Amino acid sequence: MLTVVSPAKTLDFETKSKSSISTSPDFLDDSQELINQLKKFKSQDVIDLMGVSQKIADLNVERFQSWKKPFTADNAKQAVLAFKGDVYTGLDAETMKANDFKFAQKHLRILSGLYGLLRPMDLMQPYRLEMGKKLANKRGSNLYQFWGEQITDALNEQLKSLKSEVLINLASNEYFKSVKPKILNADVITPAFKEYKNGDYKMISFYAKKARGLLSRYIIDNRITAPEDIKSFNLEGYKFSKKLSKDNTWTFTRKQ
């Protein structure tokens, strides 16, 4: 069983990494191709592409200019420890132990606009490049066309290594669109998280994102390799709802 999650916009490269173990991303040559293009961007180009503030645009122009190989412990950080958005609040990788990182390295993947696909312990340098942004490039008009089938091929390779035909999709729609279901050698199970509000169960983005991280951590902590076992997920009041689940969309609910 393999799980995929989205990256985060918020990053932490100030806190010293708690682990000395690291690996290198598989698609750094592709990342370099994108960076070579992005190094030509001025702040206004970033604003036009990403719809961000001047401050964020200036920061990312600086990041693009500073990006360089080789990645080392001095200029990069493990992805699972560098990302700090809502999903990663739930995942709480800072409290993981060595054996947790080892399991995650095999069973968890992070989709990325710049890096394609990251293992948790892959070193990365700071960036902002969301998968859904329409960055025209030599391979097409957007990042989905840039990455083509590479991400799916890499997922298939790891699924084969795990002798598994199940992928747990805890990524956003924007990022999971980079995966090609028709050539993915796996059944895709997509957990959904809903809150009870005003007499009905609804998906609330902030809580759903954190819950994706919580379930990712639950899978790691319990060394889950059989999909049925995630139905026992019960952190922070969530429980599996057979009634609200349909086919491969498994719904977890809670009352605030």
64-111 tens-digit pLDDT: 999 999 999 999 999 999 999 999 999 999 999 999 999 999 999 999
The whole-number pLDDT of residue 197 equals 87
Report the 10 Å Cβ neighbour count for 196. 12
Contact 97, 117 (CB under 8 A): no
Encoded amino acid at 171, one letter: A
How much is the mean pLDDT over the chain? 97
Q: 198-212, pLDDT tens digit by residue?
A: 889 999 999 999 999
Contacts for 65 with CB less than 8 Å, ≥ 6 apart: 39
pTM for the model stands at 0.97
Evaluate if residue 216 carries a pLDDT over 80: yes
Cα(75)–Cα(48) distance, integer angstroms: 28
Beta bridge partners of 195: 202, 254
The runs of H, that is alpha helices, within 181-238 are: 205-221
Place of tokens 């076992």: 229
Q: 148-173, pLDDT tens digit by residue?
A: 999 999 999 999 999 999 999 999 99
Query: Which residue, 5, 23, 17, 27, is CA-closest to 153?
Result: 27
State the DSSP code for 235. Answer: G
pLDDT category at 146 given cuts 50, 70, 90 is: very high
The whole-number pLDDT of residue 175 equals 98
